[in-house]
Amino acid sequence: MPTRIRLQRKGKKGRPYYHLVVADSRAPRDGKYIERIGAYDPNQNPAFIEINNEKALEWLQKGASPSDTCRAILSYTGIVYKNHLAGGVKKGAFTQEEADRRFDVWLNEKNAKIEAKRSNLEAGKTDAEKARIAAEVKKSNDKAAALSAKLAAASAAEAAAKAPAVEEAPAEAEAPAADAPAAESEAPAAE
């Protein structure tokens, strides 16, 4: 019975997550499986991967062939590399301690890369949030400045409209008063 390590789809439409399963190669994708060895959620960034390393390594050594995506996931988690190192130990190229040391060095480098990616994503989120807030504040300030300029122009125009009317009214009141004394001075002279 040829076995495959492959993904079994779960989740709802547009939001899938997967179980890593060992199944008969003739079984349907979401059908019967032999053993569940992990989970994979591509909706997160970086993707969430949980695998039982011992079981996955055991199945690889038994001859189970992973699908392309599962091979990438197993390679990402280091199981393929650990299988490769186990083959080197089996051939006598190096000792088990040397294989463990090499794997630990590789695993530490991989974890450092993953943490760097997470911190960069978090920093990018905070920077994007700060930039968005700064843009909103600038836009709000621009609108407030434009509104205050419009209100100042309207009040200046209103003050200008009132000022000539106020100036013209006293000028008209002064003109008849000036004419009235002249008329009075002329009237007595006529008598």
Specify the CATH number for the domain of residue 16: 3.30.1320.10
What is the rounded distance in angstroms from the CA atom of residue 191 to the CA atom of residue 187? 7
Of the residues 19, 43, 67, the one at which a domain ends: 67
- Domain membership flag for residue 23: yes
* Number of domains present in the structure of the chain: 2
- Domain membership flag for residue 175: no
Place of tokens 């492959």: 6
Residues spanned by the domain of 91: 78-158
What is the rounded distance in angstroms from the CA atom of residue 118 to the CA atom of residue 53? 23
The residues, ordered by sequence, that sit 6+ positions from 86 with a Cβ below 8 Å of its Cβ are 57, 61, 99
- Domain membership flag for residue 147: yes
**pLDDT of the residue at 19:** 95
Do 90 and 59 fall into the same domain? no
- Domain membership flag for residue 73: no
Tens-digit pLDDT profile for the chain (191 aa)? 589 999 999 999 999 999 999 999 898 888 899 999 999 999 988 889 999 999 999 999 999 999 999 999 999 999 999 999 999 998 988 889 999 999 999 999 999 998 998 888 888 888 888 999 999 999 999 999 999 888 888 888 888 888 765 555 555 555 555 555 554 555 555 54
Residues of 156-188 as b/e, b for ≥16 C-beta within 10 angstroms?
A: eeeeeeeeeeeeeeeeeeeeeeeeeeeeeeeee
**pLDDT of the residue at 182:** 53
**pLDDT of the residue at 60:** 92
Do 57 and 89 fall into the same domain? no
- Domain membership flag for residue 26: yes
What is the rounded distance in angstroms from the CA atom of residue 77 to the CA atom of residue 90? 22
- In this structure, what token pair is assigned to residue 174? 């002064």
- pTM of the shown model: 0.64
What is the rounded distance in angstroms from the CA atom of residue 8 to the CA atom of residue 18? 5
**pLDDT of the residue at 46:** 82
